[in-house]
């Protein structure tokens, strides 16, 4: 992708994130994004099909950053990968929370579950499915509720202890 296209997409995404800090996803319109980004609607639609496409691509981008972070982990155990996933999400909680709350189609959960399933190679498939869905459920609960990092990490430690 050429530099101008990448810059325009970055601008649109940055404006989208700025608006999510102030408004709910439902309150944001393509027109508002274009106005703040100082682009016309045609330019927006050259890069994204609609607001949902922007959301999905934004979540995909954030999840890719998470996956890259976890892949840098030198440990290959399932437990370490789960710990690194939580570590990243805790460090980026506010930003990911806004995306998660905007996500009515379940993109966030699907990306997470698929990634965890690919990573949990030490376990039988049904065990991996169980833990991936449960772990994503805990992460979602952490993102939308007032739970401390200490509290959720203690619970995850108890749960992942059974993986050992």
Taking only the tens place, the pLDDT of each residue in 34-78 is 999 999 999 999 999 999 999 999 999 999 998 888 877 766 666
Q: Lowest mean pLDDT: which of 107-116, 140-149, 152-161?
A: 152-161
pLDDT value of residue 163: 59
Report the CATH architecture of 1-48.
Answer: Orthogonal Bundle (1.10)
Question: What phi and psi, each to the nearest 5 degrees, are found at residue 11?
Answer: -60, -45
CB 139 within 8 A of CB 82: no
Q: Could you give the 3-state DSSP secondary structure of residue 24? A: coil
With cut-offs at 50, 70 and 90, classify the pLDDT of residue 29.
Answer: very high
pLDDT at 20 over 90: yes
DSSP string, 54-96: HHHHHHHHHHHHHHHHHHT-S--SHHHHHHHHHHHHHHTHHHH
pTM of this prediction?
0.83
pLDDT value of residue 119: 76
Between 9 and 70, the higher pLDDT residue: 9
What confidence tens digit (pLDDT) does each residue in 100-138 have?
Answer: 999 988 998 998 898 888 877 777 888 888 888 988 888
Q: Rounded to whole angstroms, how far apart are CA atoms 134 and 80?
A: 16
pLDDT at 144 over 80: yes
């Amino acid at each position: 992708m050429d530099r101008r296209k990448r810059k325009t997409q970055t601008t649109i995404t940055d404006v989208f994130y700025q608006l999510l800090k102030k408004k709910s996803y439902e309150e944001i319109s393509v027109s508002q994004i274009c106005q703040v980004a100082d682009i016309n609607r045609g330019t927006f639609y050259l890069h994204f099909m609609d607001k949902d496409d922007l959301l999905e691509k934004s979540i995909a981008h954030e999840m890719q950053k998470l996956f890259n972070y976890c892949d840098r982990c030198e440990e290959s155990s399932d437990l370490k990968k789960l710990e690194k996933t939580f570590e990243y999400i805790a460090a980026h909680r506010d930003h990911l929370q806004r995306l998660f709350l905007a996500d009515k189609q379940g993109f966030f959960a699907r990306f997470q579950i698929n990634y965890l399933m690919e990573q949990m190679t030490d376990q039988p498939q049904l065990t991996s499915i169980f833990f991936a869905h449960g772990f994503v459920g805990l992460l979602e609960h952490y993102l939308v509720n007032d739970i401390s990092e200490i509290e959720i990490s203690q619970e995850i430690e108890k749960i992942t202890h059974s993986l050992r």
